[in-house]
Structure 1
């Protein structure tokens, strides 16, 4: 009996649509602070809020849509999310005050929360169970590539074509991907009345998939470590006079994920998640140590490669675990639960870690994050690793 097919039309379209969603997110994330400063003379804290309020909107939307996506319908939720994201991205052309920018950033983030929860839920259903790790790994590349290409292109366009060109590029790509999702065939899911009855209450189970919470907690801690790179790498590079080399950090990061993903996904399915999860913690911790001791450009690039192998492998594998341990009829809630915690770690990181920099400095911060990541390995063992069976296990059922 042959392998279940992974590279279907539906898988490719949903992955591409997710890429354009996150491409817009990352492109605007790195340029909106400069936009707020130059257009509205925002203070550094106001410019930071203009960037971070997006994540707050995303988190709140995920919290709500995770418990309603099954009732609304997965594909209809995808349409709604895309339309709202496209409309709020178009509104950047008309922003004429800092207050308007804050409001639109919040709404833009909420729209991404709706659309990306839908893409994650749909793709979880499309991926064959026996290729869960491999499929989720390839799907996660859509976010990885967006995180590498979006910031690079955003900074280039801002310098050479102005902020409006950023908005134009994002809108064109969103329109194209919106039309593409009309051709996605979403597998039917039958939900019982009891399922919807459970979602009506205000209990934790109606907002979160409880079985996905342990791995999601770990994801939040690891994302906190990653946020130290995403937010402070440029400032750190300026301090150690390695700005030119640091601009290639995320390119190397994405390249090493592309090279490693075919192997790590298969190992996850064939050998069990622990085989890829434990090394991912160690490699990410080493990456942070290397980054903290960087005095030459090679160390920055080496850290980028290790982050790709460590954090890149962890994020896709942890997402696969969150789906694997959850009931089939709660895939939508499991997806939103995982990303609420992951986005939460990235979202609060700049605020929390920013308080540590005056005390520890950038090098000390990265050492502290390496310790956090390494300790998270033991937390993973107690919350999931010791119970994980070797080999591919079936997705939990009702």
Structure 2
């Protein structure tokens, strides 16, 4: 019997902590920037949304170039550079004076977010033993999911007591710690083949085709999840549950943490279907429960169901995307996966507002619960098609 190789190495711990701090800053700014534009800059809600969108647009664009950059310059070098530039970008908010400058900084910051999260995900996948990748990336995904709670909590807790520049400075210090952790990550680089003659760049230099099918499933899941990010607080306020809203993501995180160790092991030992299909169904049930919510306990129960369901999907989809590609293409696979995942969030945040205006919040979550159930059948079709192609 072969010995189980460990997941929690020094490099895995450091890449996970660094990622945790990156996503804390991301979610803190996602929450705080619209408030900052409205209050300190006396801007409009449209300008606040534009500042959020500029970041996401540049991040998505960078995803498609990330694989090529990692292949050319190496993962460790790009990790250090991208974390450093993400840290510097965070500190620069302290010195921003006008909205135009903020918009440029948001776009610039998004570039490094797109690159650093791609390289960090690829490195985490390389560090974890292949036979325990589902479990390992499940643990790695906890860093991103916990930041959903920690980032907004830090921003909203500090906001009444500190000036905006001081809050930006605190986030800069957090990222400085993240940069220090990144320096201690060891990466076994795949030897780069001898340089070929100059050739024209093709589709494969930007997208990992083998990762597209499962990444498209993640697009539909993140599209539905955009309703949680964008509207959960407003929906809670409309129900008279605004005090309960702040606990939604806390319950989400706790529920996710309880199932994550088991779901990762099941993924590796039994296969992805045993994890992903129930998780999609649980996510759909959580959205349905939200549509029927009238009380605080049901609102929080919905948070737990969404946490168990959606919180398990992200690392599972990422694992499948990386496993679909050749080992030396892990950077391309990670970039392709996150590009479609982020695109789902961005499109959902914009387009779901139309459904809300036409049908209301409860009907939005009802519609999306059916949408996610349909995604189950799409996922099963994708997996069946890939299995047929492999045989």
- TM-score if structure 2 supplies the norm length? 0.96
Residue 263 of structure 1: aligned partner: 262
1:315 deviation in Å? 0.9
Aligned equivalents of 1:131 and 1:388: distance in 2? 21
Conserved? CA contact 1:33–1:50, under 8 Å:
yes
Q: Which runs of 5+ in 1 are unaligned?
A: 390-395
1:43 deviation in Å? 1.4
Aligned equivalents of 1:201 and 1:254: distance in 2? 46
Conserved? CA contact 2:55–2:108, under 8 Å:
yes
Residue 102 of structure 1: aligned partner: 103
Residue 88 of structure 1: aligned partner: 89
Conserved? CA contact 2:75–2:189, under 8 Å:
no
Residue 248 of structure 1: aligned partner: 247
Conserved? CA contact 2:83–2:179, under 8 Å:
yes
Aligned equivalents of 2:128 and 2:282: distance in 1? 28
Conserved? CA contact 1:19–1:146, under 8 Å:
yes
Aligned equivalents of 2:197 and 2:118: distance in 1? 21
1:388 deviation in Å? 5.5
Residue 117 of structure 1: aligned partner: 118
CA-to-aligned-CA distance 1:3-37 (integer Å, 9 cap, x gap)? 11111000000011011111100011011001001
Question: Does residue 285 of structure 2 align to residue 286 of structure 1?
Answer: yes
CA-to-aligned-CA distance 1:221-268 (integer Å, 9 cap, x gap)? 100111100011111111111011111000111111111110000000
SS of 2:306 mapped into structure 1: helix
Conserved? CA contact 1:58–1:111, under 8 Å:
yes
Aligned equivalents of 1:329 and 1:179: distance in 2? 27
Residue 211 of structure 2: aligned partner: 212
Residue 182 of structure 2: aligned partner: 181
Residue 71 of structure 2: aligned partner: 70
Aligned equivalents of 2:346 and 2:321: distance in 1? 20
Conserved? CA contact 1:37–1:43, under 8 Å:
yes
Alpha-carbon distance change, 388 to 14 in structure 1, aligned in 2, over 3 angstroms: farther
CA-to-aligned-CA distance 1:150-193 (integer Å, 9 cap, x gap)? 11121111122232232122111111221222221111212324
Aligned equivalents of 1:205 and 1:286: distance in 2? 38
Please give the residue correspondences for 1:197-346 in structure 2 after superposition, counting only pairs within 5 Å. Answer: 201-346=200-345
Question: Does residue 173 of structure 2 align to residue 167 of structure 1?
Answer: no
1:359 deviation in Å? 0.5
SS of 2:263 mapped into structure 1: helix
Conserved? CA contact 1:287–1:306, under 8 Å:
yes
Aligned equivalents of 1:191 and 1:123: distance in 2? 20
Aligned equivalents of 2:315 and 2:352: distance in 1? 24
The count of residues paired between Structure 1 and Structure 2 equals 388
SS of 2:97 mapped into structure 1: coil
1:202 deviation in Å? 3.5
SS of 1:160 mapped into structure 2: coil
Conserved? CA contact 1:272–1:388, under 8 Å:
no
Aligned equivalents of 1:279 and 1:159: distance in 2? 41
Q: Which runs of 5+ in 2 are unaligned?
A: none
Pick which of 52-61 and 289-298 moved more.
52-61
Conserved? CA contact 2:51–2:106, under 8 Å:
yes
Pick which of 218-227 and 108-117 moved more.
108-117
Aligned equivalents of 2:306 and 2:232: distance in 1? 13
Conserved? CA contact 1:215–1:380, under 8 Å:
yes
Conserved? CA contact 1:157–1:163, under 8 Å:
no
Aligned equivalents of 1:66 and 1:232: distance in 2? 33
Residue 393 of structure 1: aligned partner: none
SS of 1:159 mapped into structure 2: coil
- TM-score if structure 1 supplies the norm length? 0.94
